[in-house]
């Protein structure tokens, strides 16, 4: 009886190799933009200085006249403030994803970090919210009284500087570092810079937070961009973005 000939199985083709996704750092670039735009916001706000001019000695009419000559500074302040607000939201979302990927499932750290950044973005939107009205109304008594123009000058000299909630995000970053979720030096920056910012935010000198928070945000963003190598290497090894 003849044996049934065997048919050699065709060799299986190797599964196509998918390119490994590199972790996105766009959110960290957004944080850097937010920090730089935040500095621009502070500078622009400081240049709208009519209400703080000692030579005007509280004369509302003269202050309003000087404000009418500071429209370019107002527009610069407004633009930087809104760029910072938009970039902060992107950074907040990215920071939440970055921390959530490395801390425990029940940790509040990612949400706290997100909330501080998002809340500051809202403050910036509100801080720039009166600009349109007074850019066109300054120097025109029929549109805005001198007293209301003075109020506007005080508004943009205070509200957009209230970055205290970014300090809360810095403290959250320190908590994440204690869990081994981010490099220790980033946690220390978050603790020192965030602590100072948060203390100013809580105090009656809350506008002073705007002098520290953008600088700290720049350092932390650069840290995530160029100093977060262990995390990026791990994500590349597993093929996650």
Q: What is the distance, to the nearest Å, from the Cα of residue 109 to the centroid of all Cα atoms in its chain?
A: 17
Judged on CB neighbours under 10 Å (0-12, 13-18, 19+), 16 is exposed
Determine if the pTM surpasses 0.75.
yes
The phi-psi region of residue 139 (left if phi > 0; otherwise alpha if psi is between -120 and 50; otherwise beta) is: left
CA dihedral 218, 30, 125, 83 (to 10 degrees): 90
pLDDT in tens, the chain (241 residues): 444 444 444 444 444 444 445 667 899 999 999 999 999 999 999 999 988 888 888 788 888 888 888 999 999 999 999 999 999 999 999 999 999 999 877 899 999 999 999 999 999 999 999 998 888 766 566 577 888 888 999 999 999 999 999 999 999 999 999 998 999 999 999 999 999 999 999 999 898 999 999 999 999 999 999 887 666 665 544 455 4
Q: Is the dihedral of CA 165, 166, 169, 171 positive or negative?
A: negative
Q: Rounded to 5 degrees, what angle do the CA atoms 20, 24, 26 make?
A: 155
């Amino acid at each position: 009886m003849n044996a049934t000939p065997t048919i050699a199985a065709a060799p299986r083709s190797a599964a196509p190799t998918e390119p490994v996704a590199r972790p996105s750092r766009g959110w960290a670039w957004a944080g850097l933009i937010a920090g730089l735009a935040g500095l621009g916001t502070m500078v622009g706000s400081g240049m709208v200085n009519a209400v703080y001019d000692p030579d005007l000695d509280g004369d509302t009419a003269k202050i309003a006249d000087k404000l009418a000559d500071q429209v370019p500074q107002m527009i610069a302040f407004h633009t930087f403030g809104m760029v910072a607000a938009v970039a902060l939201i992107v950074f907040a979302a990215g920071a939440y994803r970055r921390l959530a990927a490395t801390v425990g499932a029940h940790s509040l750290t990612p949400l706290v970090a997100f909330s501080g950044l998002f809340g500051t973005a809202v403050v910036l939107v509100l801080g720039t919210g009166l600009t349109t009205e007074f850019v066109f109304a300054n120097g025109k008594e029929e549109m805005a009284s001198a007293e209301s123009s003075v109020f506007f000058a005080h508004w943009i000299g205070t509200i957009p500087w209230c970055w205290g909630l970014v300090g809360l995000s810095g403290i959250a970053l320190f908590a994440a570092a204690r869990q081994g979720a981010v490099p220790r030096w980033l946690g220390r920056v978050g603790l020192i810079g965030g602590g100072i910012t948060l203390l100013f935010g809580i105090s009656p000198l809350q506008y002073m937070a705007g002098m520290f928070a953008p600088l700290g945000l720049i350092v932390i963003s650069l840290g995530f961009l160029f100093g977060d190598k262990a995390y990026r290497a791990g994500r590349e090894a597993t093929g996650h973005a």
